[in-house]
A = this chain, B = another copy of it.
Amino acid sequence: LEAAAERRLHPTLAALRRLPEVLAEEPAELTLTVVDGHCTQVEAGPPNGPLVGFALDIGTTTVVLYLLDLVSGAELAHAAMLNPQVAYGDDVIARIHHAGVDPKGLEHLNREIRRAVDELLKKACTEAEVLPATVARGTVVGNATMTHLFCGINPRGLGIAPFAPITHESLTLPGHEFGLRAAPEAVVTVLPNIAGFLGSDTVGVMLAAMAHPQGTCLAVDIGTNGEMVLYHQGRWFGCSAAAGPAFEGARIGCGMRGAAGAISRVDLVDGEPELAVIDGQQPRGLCGSGLLDSIAVLLNSGALDDTGRLVDGDELPATWQARLSGEGPDRRFLLAEQQASATGEALYLTAGDIREVQLAKGSIRASIEALLARAGVTCDEVETVYLAGGFGSYLRVESAIRIGLLPPFDPARVKAVGNGAGAGARLALVSQEERALAEELARRVEVLYLANDLVYQMQFMEQMVFPES
């Protein structure tokens, strides 16, 4: 037994430390966990469960962990939670700042995310009825700031020109080197970054959606930042644009995340706006997809002009005129009356909300145009458009096109891919080829720096307005 455990399997120190205890039981059988040619774990007796691994998607706001059977690739459990680093700031800039100015900042941010991952691991393992200590492998994706903080590397370089990550390569180390207590012996791979503002989350989206592209295609992941990658004739082009948190419900008067009570759809039925609310409750606010729909409906009804101004309303039907109130920057549109609202207050879409959307969609759309221009591709030549992320999955494509967030693609060519970053992490978890591919894809993307991009700057101005119907 010792011979098998030691001679060719390159045991880790932890496995060696465990061995005397295991051998003391004089087991008739040993179970060795061998990952990348290293024996990482050794237990007496037959295997006491499937070989499992975790795929981790560290979002600025939400952390999601999937527990997979490493042999079948089947999902055994998943768990999600708010990224506890939000206590130190909502966005990556705030986190970078905190790590840069507070001497203990990096330590705190790193500890928060390590603990969160430990918690998610335990939760998912409990659900799947496996021991966290037997988790053999893990993969991690996130934007570069999130993965820097997970690794305990100060992200300060991501906040100043040239916004370079400390490394573009993937990093594979045992869990304990990352300070993971729940899975100290798991072999954990942090997928590579493309650039400081195009992290391993984007590589995940690429793996999931466009690793083996059949024709020209575009992947767009819209969060607080919008990341997008275009494939055309053997080349990949990528860029990132600050979108602001409007589509996640922040900086919008009655904005909220896409949870129970959120207005997620707005339709024009018999000339009147009709709201669909998540879980069918009375509305509490407006999430990203509802926000797009509202603006599309306002545009279609003529209540909103292409400059983003809520019209005076004389030419509108009386019911619409009744919904508009206020003047100038205080002008607003009534979404739900007080008695129809779960908050006890009427819900409005304000001129300010509309301005936020114009900024956000202008930036995203300009980035897409810049990518298309760089590749020399027209919007009609794009055969498939992949929308990743929660917002991308729930938005109504027609509304996104109506307000000009997306170019006038054929809606039939637009596919939602859900959590593309997480899906990529899952693929990389179960396949060495996918991990190698991630490394290759990250290297091959030609990165556009929008700050210097003339097309982007001109488009940003142009795309602030809404398209004419």
A residues neighboring B (CB under 8 Å): 2, 6-7, 10-11, 13, 16-17, 19-21, 23-24, 151-157, 164, 166-169, 171, 173, 177-178
As for how many copies of this chain the complex holds, the number is 2
Q: A13-B152, A16-B151 are in contact. Are A166 and B7 (CB under 8 A)?
A: no
Nearest-Cβ distance from residue A153 to partner chain B, whole angstroms? 5
Inter-subunit contact A156/B24 (CB<8 Å): yes
Q: How far is the CA of A171 from the CA of B14 in the complex (A)?
A: 12
Inter-subunit contact A171/B24 (CB<8 Å): no
Nearest-Cβ distance from residue A42 to partner chain B, whole angstroms? 10
Inter-subunit contact B153/A20 (CB<8 Å): yes
Q: How far is the CA of A136 from the CA of B302 in the complex (A)?
A: 72
**Chain B positions within 8 Å of A13 at CB level:** 151-153, 171, 173, 177-178
Q: Which residue of B lies closest to A177 (CB)?
A: B13
Selected from B16, B171, B177, the residue in CB contact (under 8 A) with A153 is: B16
Inter-subunit contact A16/B156 (CB<8 Å): no
**Chain B positions within 8 Å of A7 at CB level:** 168-169
Q: A164-B2, A166-B2 are in contact. Are A157 and B17 (CB under 8 A)?
A: no
Q: A21-B154, A24-B156 are in contact. Are A16 and B164 (CB under 8 A)?
A: no
Nearest-Cβ distance from residue A456 to partner chain B, whole angstroms? 25
Q: Which residue of B lies closest to A152 (CB)?
A: B17
A-B contact pairs, 12 of them (CB 8 A): A2-B164, A2-B167, A6-B168, A13-B152, A13-B178, A16-B151, A16-B153, A16-B171, A17-B151, A19-B166, A23-B157, A24-B156
Inter-subunit contact B157/A6 (CB<8 Å): no
Nearest-Cβ distance from residue A98 to partner chain B, whole angstroms? 14
Q: How far is the CA of A322 from the CA of B436 in the complex (A)?
A: 87
Q: How far is the CA of A155 from the CA of B16 in the complex (A)?
A: 11
Nearest-Cβ distance from residue A161 to partner chain B, whole angstroms? 12
Nearest-Cβ distance from residue A199 to partner chain B, whole angstroms? 15
Nearest-Cβ distance from residue A334 to partner chain B, whole angstroms? 50
**Chain B positions within 8 Å of A24 at CB level:** 156
Nearest-Cβ distance from residue A411 to partner chain B, whole angstroms? 42
**Chain B positions within 8 Å of A6 at CB level:** 166-169
Q: Which residue of B lies closest to A443 (CB)?
A: B7
Nearest-Cβ distance from residue A240 to partner chain B, whole angstroms? 19
Most buried by B among A16, A21, A157: A16
Inter-subunit contact B168/A17 (CB<8 Å): no
Q: How far is the CA of A166 from the CA of B178 in the complex (A)?
A: 27
Selected from B20, B151, B156, B164, the residue in CB contact (under 8 A) with A156 is: B20
Inter-subunit contact B11/A167 (CB<8 Å): yes
